[in-house]
A and B are shown apart, each in its own frame.
Chain A
Amino acid sequence: METSATKTAAEALYNEVLELARSIVEARKQIGSLRPSKLKTKSISKALLEMEEIVKATEEASNTIMDSAEQMSSADTTDPGYPDIVQTNCSKIFEACAFQDLTGQRIGSVIQTLDLVDSHLESLLELLGPDFEEVDDEEDDREGDDMLLNGPALEGEGISQDDIDKLFD
């Protein structure tokens, strides 16, 4: 026979489960409003393509500039056509430097995407609440000399050539 106390406890449990279900539905709605699939398929894919184009454009510009510099440095200065060689190659170098404008615009677009990702992550953190505990599963699993590979240092990081030279004195 069901007692009054048992009935109250069952109702309390039912209400808690109902509240939990409502929270989950609300969280799903809010995560959906962040449009993660659009972010992944459109914004991030576009940013990756922009980065590839930046690498390509800087490489092409470097090659054009070096081609011109090599042609000028190997040209015979006594050749009557020497001034024309210099003029033509200087023009090519100026043209190649236009890459900076285009890559600047592409980098601007990538920065916009990163800002968007940043604001989406901020919204997600707000949604998860202050009690959310992060699981740190991205430890650096590199070992030995591989841990020394970190790429170019940012300004203020790393040591200067003068400091390096002192280590060889």
Chain B
Amino acid sequence: MTDEKKDMSILIVDDYKTMLRIIRNLLNEVGFRNIDEATDGVTALESLRTRPYDLVISDWNMEPMTGLELLKTVRADNSLKKLPFIMVTAEAKTENVVAAKQAGVNNYIVKPFNAATLRSKLTAVIGEF
């Protein structure tokens, strides 16, 4: 992995700390080392407006702001609208994927997932690493 990719700032958002830990470990395993965490959409948005990030990996079902609301807010914000955004969620109905896609998600991973799936979606969104 190139240093440029290793240094990418990634924000992972999930209300389950265990899931944050799983995603962080998987990202560490493939070489990413600049990872921040948030436990809901509101906190994530605060972080995104505080410092620059290169990628968001977010759960959907969270309070007080869901992952879909976070995605829509990001896409409506001129300074954030091009930020790559991957949804990682247990919501696995076609209408969920369609709604996320219409809102501008770059990729969609359904839980439970494995390291290979996360890796392939990362490659699809940020390119080879």
Q: Which of B25, B111, B124 contacts A66 (CB 8 A)?
A: B25
A63 within 8 A of B: yes
Residues of chain B within 8 A of A158, CB atoms compared? 92-93, 110
A161-B117, A168-B101 given as contacts; is B61 within 8 A of A149 (CB)? yes
A10 within 8 A of B: no
A145-B66, A149-B60 given as contacts; is B101 within 8 A of A167 (CB)? yes
Q: Report the Cα distance A77→B98, complex, angstroms.
A: 46
Work out how many contacts link A and B, with CB atoms closer than 8 A.
67
B76 within 8 A of A: no
Does B93 contact A149, Cβ atoms closer than 8 Å?
Answer: no
Residues of chain A within 8 A of B111, CB atoms compared? 152
A164 within 8 A of B: yes
User: Which residue in chain A gives the minimum CB-CB distance to B16?
Assistant: A59
A92 to chain B, nearest CB (A): 16
A70-B25, A164-B110 given as contacts; is B92 within 8 A of A153 (CB)? yes
Residues of chain A within 8 A of B60, CB atoms compared? 149
Residues of chain A within 8 A of B96, CB atoms compared? 148
A159 within 8 A of B: yes
Q: Which of B21, B22, B25, B91 contacts A149 (CB 8 A)?
A: B91
**B interface residue count range (under 10 / 10 to 19 / 20 to 34 / 35 or more):** 20 to 34
A151 within 8 A of B: yes
A45 within 8 A of B: no
B107 within 8 A of A: yes
Q: Which of A59, A145, A159, A161 contacts B93 (CB 8 A)?
A: A159
Residues of chain A within 8 A of B22, CB atoms compared? 66
**A interface residue count range (under 10 / 10 to 19 / 20 to 34 / 35 or more):** 20 to 34
A15 within 8 A of B: no
Does B92 contact A159, Cβ atoms closer than 8 Å?
Answer: yes
Does A159 contact B91, Cβ atoms closer than 8 Å?
Answer: no
Interface residues of B in 28-62 (CB under 8 A from A): 29, 60-61
B113 within 8 A of A: yes
User: Which residue in chain B gives the minimum CB-CB distance to A151?
Assistant: B90
B109 within 8 A of A: yes
Name 10 interchain pairs, CB-CB below 8 A, sorted by A. Answer: A66-B25, A148-B91, A149-B60, A150-B91, A151-B90, A152-B111, A158-B92, A164-B92, A164-B97, A167-B94
- List residues of chain B with CB under 8 Å of any chain A CB: 18, 21-22, 25, 29, 60-61, 66, 68-69, 90-99, 101, 107-111, 113, 117, 124
